[in-house]
Amino acid sequence: MQYLKIKNRTAFLLVTMVLPWLGACNARLQENAEGPRGAHGALDMDQQKTLLESLLPERDVTQSPPGVDPGIWQQLVIPEDNKMTPERVALGKKLYFETRLSKDGTVACATCHDVSRGFTDQRPVSEGINGALGKRNAPTTMNAFLLQTMFLDGRAPSLEEQAKLPIVNPIEMGHANEGAALAAIADDPEYQRMFSFAYGRAPNYDDLGRAIAAFERTFVFLDAPFDRYLAGSPEAISEEAKRGWNLFNGKGRCMSCHQMNPSIPIGSDNRFHNIGVAARKQNFEQLARRALEALAQEGDMKAVDRLAIETDLSELGRFMVTKDRADIGAFKTMQLRNIALTGPYMHDGSMETLWDVMDHYNKGGEPNPFLDGGIEPLALSEDEIDAVVEFMFTLSDARLAEQNQRALTQQRKLAAAKRPFRDTAMAERRVLPFEERVMGGTR
């Protein structure tokens, strides 16, 4: 595939001077482009649809997809009130790429979950209407049907509920309420026809969420080199990746939260953990008190959604949903499938490469009073870190092999440039977490 080069070098230099981090990310987005990009950097919607058709050929959506157990698919994945039909998937597809679902007509689901970017936006945090930036990194919609809760704090219990929230979030898609969002499409004769065929009713907001969820359940990307290796083809992955797999399950302790096997194919325990990301910047106790005050006034899912996306209360993670102190600063264990394509990483997009992620875990995270008990220094050597990263690059679906290779080249280059300056004292246990905490990060 051909990729666009950055055309406006002056503007690019200006952005990188003013906002170096965002500038670097925007450069990566341009390098990964496959065609014209819209107001928020997403690939043109029609081009995204064409790309999606090449990745997901037509199949019988009433049946379980390849690689997914039929019993699990029908009994655990598909809701009783939203059975998979071609009509519902077709409606969901139209809605997924529909910019009229945003107040200013510039943002669709596919803006932040762009087919050409691993079904994410590859930004640290997402950009909504009027260029507003949220507080969270956009998770991929690939294989999201296997997650038990949605969003990084699990505030939505299903894909159906998740699909409805961004549309009425003030800084994401910006409609004032569900009625205003629905009004943007309800008079369209094509939508009227499609809603009738799909659900036997006139356009309504709940069915809008159901249709988008049905379409997203077709995003099945579970055919990676690692799967062929597990199935008995030792040549499917390199010796370095095999060593990384052993470290993943052993010294690296990754499997504690990221179990990878045929029963748990996406590598997530579907639980929430404080792993010490950017913890030095937070006064969690103060944030928690502010959150409880705010939620006492209005504590429904939409209120949590606004506070999580728009305010620094975002850093409280799962606590915003449960109000349980044990959940302060805890975020959902994200899936490892296609992880090479979904950076930057962590809830705030603060880590550019998988080497950065490994360095974070290797040192035992950032010390804080709510750090998960399983997070501790790992003392992995440089060669061992390289092996685990090599393994993670075998988790990308075969259909995404070209993008995966480009991501590997790019991440390796970035890691080589910045990691020689990393601090290894905690990883090597020359300084322990409690010492780091007592000394306030100074040595």
* Token pair listed for 120: 């994410």
Q: What is the pLDDT of residue 424?
A: 75
Return averaged pLDDT per consecutive 10 residues of the chain, 443 residues in all. 31 34 43 65 95 94 91 92 98 98 96 97 95 95 96 96 96 96 97 98 98 98 96 97 98 95 90 92 92 89 92 96 96 97 96 96 92 92 96 98 97 91 68 61 48
Report domain extents, the chain. Answer: 1-31, 43-216, 225-282+329-439, 285-320
Q: What is the rounded CA–CA span in Å between residue 33 and residue 291?
A: 39
Rounded distance between C-alpha atoms, residue 204 and residue 188, angstroms: 13
Phi, psi of 40 (to 5 degrees): -110, 20
Q: Which residues of 196-217 are buried (b: 16+ CB within 10 A; e: fewer)?
A: eebbeeebebebbbbbbbbbbb
Q: Nearest-CA neighbor of 305 among 178, 148, 136? A: 136
Q: How far apart, in whole angstroms, are the C-alpha atoms of residue 429 and residue 146?
A: 37
The model's pLDDT over 316-353, given as tens digits with 9 standing for 90+, comes to 999 999 999 999 999 999 999 999 999 999 999 999 99
pLDDT tens, residue by residue, 305-316? 999 999 999 999
Contact (CB, 8 A) for 94 and 109: no
E-strand spans in 282-389? 331-332
Identical fold, 43-216 and 225-282+329-439: yes
pLDDT of residue 175: 96
CATH of 43-216, one of 2.130.10.10, 1.10.3720.10, 1.10.760.10, 3.30.210.10: 1.10.760.10
d(CA 216, CA 101) in angstroms, rounded, equals: 17
Q: What pLDDT does residue 420 have?
A: 74
Q: What is the assigned CATH class of domain 225-282+329-439? A: mainly alpha
Whole-angstrom Cα distance, residue 95 to residue 193? 14
Can you give the pLDDT at residue 435?
64
Q: How far apart are CA 315 and CA 297, in angstroms?
A: 20
The DSSP bridge partners found for residue 212 are none
